[in-house]
Amino acid sequence: ATPMSVAVATGVGAQRGVLVKQGETLERLSSVNHFVFDKTGTLTTGQLNVHVVEPCADLTQSELLRLAASVEQHSEHTIATAICDAAISAGLKLLPITKFTTTPGRGVTAYIDGKHILVGTRQWLNSQSIYFPETLNNTILQNEKQGISCVSVAVDGELQGIIGLTDSLRADALSTIQLLQAAGAKITVLSGDRLEVVNAVTQSFSNIQRFAEVLPQDKSAVVKSLQAQGDIVAMIGDGVNDAPALIQADVGMALASGTDVSVESADVVLSHQELAKVAEAKLLATTTLRIIR
Ligand code: ADP
Ligand code: MG
């Protein structure tokens, strides 16, 4: 690659909101044949809304929401923000908590009035011997099939209900995927959420691969396995969770709206929260390298 044309392309990119940190990145991006997208906050806006509050024991809806929000007040997850916003909008006062813990990809815990509260995935609660009645399992599945992510709430080992959250695809998600596919690229969606939710949210996409319930620490292993198949991989993410996968990928791309960690770990930073910049960046790289070769 001649330094001059790469420098020009890098400048053009910057003007258009595609910030390429190093010249070599463009060269690598031109040979990328597989784009891996994180779901929450990348393909979707990441602005979740509480859609369902369903108690299954002795709590009212407000009590269930208040308990969950009280525990979530110390979490920075998008789920936590949505649950706290819903509680505050409903005029609920959050309760003081002690011994808060957070387990990435699973959930959060704390004590309220000496009671142990868990908020997280059903599998995580199951692994702690919390029993789910069949009717609630069905409710969860029905919600998930409509693209509603569910978190479960337990008090002292007893299930108290679920909270369902919705998120919407970014307006340019489908067209970006289609542009990349038209250019011959493979597409994978990678999520910590359940497969039912991933399927529902991405139902308008065809010919894509989906990996669900991937724990944060396993996201980079998925990227590695695609590289082991011979693919040159670009990973597009936004969260703290995505940083190792962004580093593992041949090209890591972060949305500028994303957390500082992912922006630091990325080779390309896309501004204006526009997913369409991914396709623009790829086109810029391909065109530049075609001129050079
Ligand atoms: P994603 O890749 O979808 O952003 P994560 O890997 O962060 O998701 O989390 C996976 C799942 O773990 C979430 O869908 C949720 O069920 C659960 N989870 C993670 N953090 C929290 C939290 N703070 N409160 C409740 N549930 C959580
Ligand atoms: Mg994310």
Q: Predicted ipTM?
A: 0.96
Predicted structure pTM score: 0.92
Active site positions, annotated: 38
Question: 191 C-alpha to center of ligand 2: Å?
Answer: 8
Which of 47, 97, 151, 238 gets mutated to test ligand 1 (max ligand atoms within 8 A of its CB)? 151
The segments of the chain whose pLDDT lies below 70 read 1-4, 9, 13, 257-259, 261, 291-293
Question: 260 C-alpha to center of ligand 2: Å?
Answer: 13
Which of 106, 220, 241 gets mutated to test ligand 1 (max ligand atoms within 8 A of its CB)? 106
Which ligand lies nearest the alpha carbon of 104? Answer: 1
Return the CATH number of 49-166, one of 3.40.1110.10, 3.30.479.30, 1.10.540.10, 3.30.470.10. 3.40.1110.10
Taking only the tens place, the pLDDT of each residue in 110-162 is: 999 999 999 999 999 999 999 999 999 999 999 999 999 999 999 999 999 99
Residue listed under structure tokens 């819903």? 86
User: What's residue 11's pLDDT?
Assistant: 74
User: What's residue 217's pLDDT?
Assistant: 86
- CATH topology for 3-45+169-292 is Rossmann fold (3.40.50)
Is the CB of 214 inside a 6 Å radius of any atom of ligand 1? no
What length is written for the chain?
Answer: 293
Is the CB of 106 inside a 6 Å radius of any atom of ligand 1? yes
Distance CA 285, CA 12 (A): 11
CATH topology of 3-45+169-292 equal to that of 49-166? no
User: What's residue 179's pLDDT?
Assistant: 95
User: What's residue 128's pLDDT?
Assistant: 96
Q: Please give the full DSSP string across 69-108, using - where no structure is assigned.
A: HHHHTT--SHHHHHHHHHHHHTTPPPPP-EEEEEETTTEE
Is the CB of 164 inside a 6 Å radius of any atom of ligand 1? no
- 69's tokens: 């929000």
> Domain ranges in the chain?
3-45+169-292, 49-166
User: What's residue 258's pLDDT?
Assistant: 60
User: What's residue 293's pLDDT?
Assistant: 57
Distance CA 239, CA 215 (A): 13
The closest residue, in CA terms, to atom 8 on ligand 1 is 192
